Amino acid sequence: VSAACRSSMATPSRYVLPDNIDVREYDIHLKPSFDTFRFQGESKISLAVTKPTKVIKLHAKELAIDPKVRHSA
């Protein structure tokens, strides 16, 4: 692909956490159902918030989320 072609292509949107939030650890357990092409599972995300923030947005299209916040030093 030439540079001219690459520059004319649309840049996909990136959804990332802001600079003041660092992911420390993901703990993910999934149970896929190959009959229904769906899954169940649990995800725990450990974050470090380096500057005060009012909102942390996580993308969860078609996911049910039970948010639990635990503060640690």
Identify which has the larger pLDDT, 58 or 47. Answer: 47
DSSP per-residue codes, the chain: --HHHHHHSPPPP-----TTEEEEEEEEEEEEETTTTEEEEEEEEEEEE-S--S------TT-----------
Residue 4's pLDDT is 47
- Rounded to the nearest angstrom, the gap between the alpha carbon of residue 59 and the centroid of all alpha carbons in its chain is 6
Residue 20 corresponds to which tokens in the numbers above?
């003041």
Prediction pTM value: 0.57
Q: Is residue 10 part of a domain?
A: no
For residue range 5-47, list pLDDT tens digits in order.
444 455 556 677 888 999 999 999 999 999 999 888 888 888 8
* Structural domain total, the chain: 1
Is residue 9 in a domain?
no
Q: Domain of 49?
A: 16-62
